[in-house]
């Protein structure tokens, strides 16, 4: 980390004297590509509502973790989000209900259960605010290391399975006819999203995390002509908006997660205009 800290010292800005800002900068540089990559599959697979629901289940997991007195309730949230993701995939394959109804049922139940547990016995809800809003400035070097490991794991899985996941999302029947196990691909994909969403929630915030999972790819597909450009623009868009969001929020003093989301929304609007002009 010392090398990373020293790397910025020559710049003539206030923030270079603050190690928490340099930590946050490194954290967004690790997190943004993660969200950029996953975003393309969430948007192509029409799963944006699902990833939102996963954030809600993570909240319930944190509430259970705190209730049980765990020092790091986030791992309880990861476990619950993975169970939630697998259960959702299993139920969706067996029910006649549409996917958005199933997600709605899971999501609202998760939030209700989370609030129920959080306020059980008249407890205060304030301690959960950090998970709702998120605070990237509180990220520690150890947590950045963990995020980097997750990024590497996702990249490895991505290289191995992205073709199968792409085919499953654009045409499940075609994928099945070519010997791809749709269920296995879906479960792998939803588990990865569950882990990433839950781990990132403390720093990005439950209320805005879904924008990072949807907006990078939504903007990218307005300008991309093929899969290569799609992933590239999604990762670049997420990276640029995240770094810009960090510094804008520092300068004007507001939530970093929300600022990043707003910048991504502006980026989406710009690409939409570009697309309209091209057509």
Residues engaged in binding other proteins (CB under 8 A): 44, 158-160, 162-164, 166-167, 170-171, 173-174, 176-178, 220-222, 224-232
Q: Which residues contact 84 (CB under 8 A, 6 or more apart)?
A: 53, 54, 57, 106, 110, 194
Question: Which is nearer to other proteins, 22 or 221 (by Cβ)?
Answer: 221
Smallest distance from other proteins to CB 131, Å: 32
Smallest distance from other proteins to CB 170, Å: 6
Question: Which is nearer to other proteins, 10 or 225 (by Cβ)?
Answer: 225
Smallest distance from other proteins to CB 199, Å: 23
Question: Which is nearer to other proteins, 32 or 231 (by Cβ)?
Answer: 231
Question: Which is nearer to other proteins, 86 or 232 (by Cβ)?
Answer: 232
Question: Which is nearer to other proteins, 138 or 162 (by Cβ)?
Answer: 162
Smallest distance from other proteins to CB 7, Å: 29
Smallest distance from other proteins to CB 106, Å: 24
């Amino acid at each position: 980390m010392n090398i990373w800290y020293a790397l910025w010292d020559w710049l003539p800005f206030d923030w270079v004297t603050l190690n928490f800002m340099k930590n946050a900068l490194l954290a967004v540089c690790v997190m943004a590509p993660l969200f950029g990559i996953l975003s393309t599959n969430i948007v192509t697979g029409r799963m944006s509502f699902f990833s939102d629901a996963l954030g809600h289940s993570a909240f319930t997991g944190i509430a259970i973790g705190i209730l049980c007195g765990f020092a790091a309730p986030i791992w309880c949230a990861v476990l619950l989000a993975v169970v939630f993701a697998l259960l959702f995939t299993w139920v969706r394959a067996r029910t006649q209900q549409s996917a958005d109804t199933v997600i709605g049922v899971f999501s609202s139940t998760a939030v209700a259960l989370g609030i129920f547990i959080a306020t059980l016995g008249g407890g205060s809800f304030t301690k959960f605010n950090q998970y709702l809003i998120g605070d990237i400035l509180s990220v520690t070097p150890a947590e950045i290391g963990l995020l980097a490991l997750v990024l590497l794991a996702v990249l490895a899985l991505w290289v191995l399975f992205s073709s199968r996941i792409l085919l499953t999302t654009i045409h499940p029947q075609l994928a099945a006819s070519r010997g791809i196990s749709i269920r296995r691909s879906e479960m792998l994909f939803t588990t990865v999203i569950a882990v990433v969403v839950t781990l990132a929630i403390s720093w990005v915030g439950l209320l805005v995390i879904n924008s990072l999972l949807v907006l990078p790819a939504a903007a990218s597909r307005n300008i991309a002509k093929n899969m290569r450009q799609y992933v590239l623009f999604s990762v670049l868009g997420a990276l640029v908006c995240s770094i810009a969001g960090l510094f804008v929020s520092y300068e004007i003093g507001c939530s970093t997660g929300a600022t990043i989301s707003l910048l991504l929304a502006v980026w989406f609007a710009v690409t939409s205009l570009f697309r309209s002009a091209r057509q």
